[in-house]
Amino acid sequence: MAGNITLEVVTPEKVVVSEEVQIAVAPGSLGEFGVLIGHTTFLTTLKTGTVHYTGADGGQRYIFASGGFAEALPDKLTVLAESAERRRDIDTERAKTAMERAQKRLEKETEDIDFARAKAALERAVHRIRLAETRQ
């Protein structure tokens, strides 16, 4: 089947991307999944990771996404993410600062630290840094 799908990646604050693409791959909570034209309809939760896709022009593009949901339809993939940003928009210094802050929290051995929250913050920061520093 030839043709493009519409990819929409949105957060509560903004539309990160809305364009026609050949294929989109997202980080589902049970593993990565790809969507092409004619895909079976489904809904899934997302984990922190990278949404990568091939634009209608054949170019590869990458978006950091953290949590949320994805809905696949035969002609569209909608990603509703807690946070998302294009690779080119990632502030690496800010992500490194967040990573260091999360690591310091995790090193503390007091009961007033929310370890799950600190671990999630560390995971987001590491993913942002890796994506920003990877040139594919």
Are 67 and 47 in the same domain?
Answer: yes
Q: Are residues 11 and 34 in the same domain?
A: yes
- Is 71 found in the same domain as 110? no
Tell me, what's the pLDDT at 37? 95
Q: Are residues 126 and 71 in the same domain?
A: no
- Dig out the tokens for 29 from the structure: 């909570």
Whether 27 and 50 share a structural domain: yes
| Residue for token pair 């294929």 | 23
Query: pLDDT of 28-46, one tens digit each?
Result: 999 999 999 999 999 999 9
Shared domain for 32 and 82, answered yes or no, is yes
- Structure confidence by residue, pLDDT tens digits, 3-28: 899 999 999 999 999 999 999 999 99
Domain CATH for 101:
1.20.5.440
pLDDT range class, residue 1, cuts 50, 70, 90: low
CA distances from 123 to 54, 103, 113 (A): 25, 10, 16
Q: What domain range includes position 120?
A: 90-133
Task: Kindly state the average pLDDT of the residues 95-99.
Answer: 85
pLDDT over 80 at 125, yes or no: yes
Residues 9 and 31 grouped into a single domain: yes
| Total domains, the chain | 2
Same structural domain, 101 and 72:
no
Query: 58 is written with which tokens?
Result: 């054949």
CA distances from 8 to 11, 51, 55, 117, 125 (A): 10, 11, 12, 27, 23
Name the phi and psi angles at 22, rounded to 5. -80, -45
Are 102 and 115 contained in the same domain? yes
- Whether 133 has a pLDDT exceeding 70, the answer reads yes
Q: Kindly report the CATH number assigned to the domain that includes residue 78.
A: 2.60.15.10
pLDDT tens readout for residues 42-90: 999 999 999 999 999 999 999 999 989 999 999 999 999 999 999 888 8
With bands split at pLDDT 50, 70 and 90, how would you rate the model's confidence at 96? confident
- H helix or E strand, kind and range, residue 102: helix 92-107
Whether residues 13 and 65 share a domain: the answer is: yes
